[in-house]
Amino acid sequence: MRVSLFVPCSVDQLTPQVGLATAKVLKRHGPKELYLLLVG
């Protein structure tokens, strides 16, 4: 299964730890392939 995580620029600028924590949780418990889409 492939999953893409979209992190809008507002999240990236204001609370980047939220996007990183979400990616960690998905990587640990989710799919083998994870694509991060950072827009900013």
As a whole number of angstroms, the distance between CA 2 and CA 13 comes to 26
- Per-residue pLDDT tens over the stretch 1-40: 777 778 888 887 888 888 888 888 888 887 777 777 766 6
Q: Look at residue 24 in the predicted model and tell me its pLDDT.
A: 86
Q: Running DSSP on this structure, what letter comes out for residue 32?
A: S
Instruction: Compute φ and ψ for 34, nearest 5 degrees.
Output: -130, 125
Q: Look at residue 40 in the predicted model and tell me its pLDDT.
A: 61
